[in-house]
Chain A
Amino acid sequence: MGDDILSYNGGVALAMKGKECIAIACDKRYGVQNRTIATNFTKIFQYSDHCFVAFCGLATDVQTVSERLKFRTNLYELREQRKLKPNVLYNMLTNLLYERRFGPYFVFALVVGLDPKTGETFVYDSDNIGAISDNVNLVTVGTASEYIFGLGELFFKPNMNADELFEATSQALLNGVDRDSASGWGAVVYVIEKDKITVRELKGRQD
């Protein structure tokens, strides 16, 4: 813990790519250093029919950045008369973060999405000043990100279907957070497919 702003509140999120489906998951802990305050603080937000973003880091910035991003996406949809695509949402977010390059928000982000017509999958991550990544298979952010990366790489297989993807994502998250005192207290997993989105709440070790 100590003085590190990015681990002041704790929390973790992960996203994985499958065959025409995506899974994004986060823990539910809201804490202040070693005190747990709430266990219903989810870090995943929906911006369009098939676009989701997860923010991890300082809790106040998780809330503020998600709300300010919503401001911009609402105006986009009103002016353009169409829904956002994942890559556009990603660019909007990284632009928002870079605007504060010299007084930044303390959140790292994951942006995921699916094109419902083509089934093309998008999984990106960003640091807190808007560094862009490629469209990759696996991304994690948060205080337990390294632990979850290791497990994620282990469980990941290319072209998994929705059920396999759910299992891989859930196991990576649940076991990874057990190694981190600042994350855990339950998890939420979204599995996004072309025709439906399934949300599941997981109960892990409640500590």
Chain B
Amino acid sequence: MARRYDTRATIFSPEGRLYQVEYALEAISHAGASLGILAENGVVLAGEKRNIHDDLCCSVSGITSDANVLINELRMIGQRYLLTYQEPAPIEYIVSRLCNIKQAYTQFGGKRPFGVSFLYMGWDKHYGYQLYQSDPSGNYGGWKATCVGHNSQTAISILKQEYKIGETQLNDALRLAIRVFSKTLDTTKLTPEKIEIAVLQHDDKTNETTIRMLKDDELITLIKQYEDEQSKLEADRQKQQQTTTSSSTVEKEKK
């Protein structure tokens, strides 16, 4: 690792890497996890939530003080569009504008990049429900399901196996979110205090988007559903094991 090149944020290393960006991503991997899942009829976001405007909300992973500055900028971007065009800003427009700002800190100014990754969930009339992720490099992408922060790799591999494209409804997405969290959080038992889940839905009739946090009793129900599923799976597995051992002992006797 060529440490001589790390002192300036805005230059490449000989291997063509931007170390400061990579170090920022490293900072984020230690932060609390955020999870986002797109459903056919809504979007689910788990983690520390911040509202940007009526139809867009995001969750933060990384250095909170850096995040506060960027959240403010996101809100201003949304309002400036609304002032000029008198209609709500499209989701990708806001994400894209913020990412251009984040990219500037990797190329000019001599300042360090922001140590935050965002997951954005929103609805607009152009593309319906959307989920985006952005990182310190200023890169962003649209996702069907993704995770950032601590243990995100484990979470992503579970999502890859379990997420069903085109078939996931909101309740499936919520169940999947609980399943991912119970496997990736460092605690043995999942309780409502440990997670914060928000759901975004758009009512086509009233043309209103609601972003709501799941209440404790809803979380308890989901967690209990998950635990019941798990204990049922465990019971089935135990029964399977018993039948296989008994059949092997019978075979031994025959011999």
Tell me which of A75, A78, A79 has the highest count of chain B C-beta atoms within 10 A of its own C-beta: A78
Binds B, one of A16-24, A66-74, A157-165, A171-179: A66-74
Within 8 A of B (CB), among A52-87: 67-68, 70-71, 74-75, 78-79
Task: Let me know if B83 is at the binding interface, CB within 8 A.
Answer: yes
Q: Which residues of B contact A74 (CB under 8 A)?
A: 53, 79, 82
B83 touches A67 (CB 8 A): yes
A106 to chain B, nearest CB (A): 19
Q: Which residues of B contact A68 (CB under 8 A)?
A: 83
Mark A129-161 against chain B: 1 for CB-CB distance below 8 A, else 0.
000000000000000000000000000000000
A75 touches B75 (CB 8 A): yes
A78 touches B51 (CB 8 A): yes
Task: Let me know if B25 is at the binding interface, CB within 8 A.
Answer: no
A75 touches B86 (CB 8 A): no
Task: Let me know if B220 is at the binding interface, CB within 8 A.
Answer: no
Q: Which residues of A contact B72 (CB under 8 A)?
A: 79
Task: Let me know if B76 is at the binding interface, CB within 8 A.
Answer: yes
Task: Let me know if B52 is at the binding interface, CB within 8 A.
Answer: yes
Within 8 A of A (CB), among B75-112: 75-76, 79-80, 82-83, 86
Mark B139-177 against chain A: 1 for CB-CB distance below 8 A, else 0.
000000000000000000000000000000000000000
Q: Which residues of A contact B52 (CB under 8 A)?
A: 78
Please report the C-alpha to C-alpha distance between residue A70 and residue B82 in the assembled complex, in whole angstroms: 9
A146 to chain B, nearest CB (A): 34
CB nearest to B72 among chain A residues: A79
Please report the C-alpha to C-alpha distance between residue A155 and residue B53 in the assembled complex, in whole angstroms: 43
A71 touches B82 (CB 8 A): yes
B34 to chain A, nearest CB (A): 20
Q: Which residues of A contact B80 (CB under 8 A)?
A: 71
B53 touches A78 (CB 8 A): yes
| Known interface pairs A78-B51, A78-B52; A71-B86 also in contact (CB < 8 Å) | no
CB nearest to B84 among chain A residues: A67
A100 to chain B, nearest CB (A): 16
B176 to chain A, nearest CB (A): 29
B75 touches A71 (CB 8 A): no
B73 to chain A, nearest CB (A): 11
Q: Which residues of B contact A70 (CB under 8 A)?
A: 82-83
Residues of B within 8 A of A (CB): 51-53, 72, 75-76, 79-80, 82-83, 86
Known contacts A71-B83, A75-B75; 17 further A-B pairs (Cβ under 8 A)? A67-B83, A67-B86, A68-B83, A70-B82, A70-B83, A71-B79, A71-B80, A71-B82, A74-B79, A74-B82, A75-B76, A75-B79, A78-B51, A78-B52, A78-B53, A78-B75, A79-B72
In the complex, 16 of the A-B residue pairs with CB atoms within 8 angstroms, ordered by the A residue number, are A67-B83, A68-B83, A70-B82, A70-B83, A71-B79, A71-B83, A74-B53, A74-B82, A75-B75, A75-B76, A75-B79, A78-B51, A78-B52, A78-B53, A78-B75, A79-B75
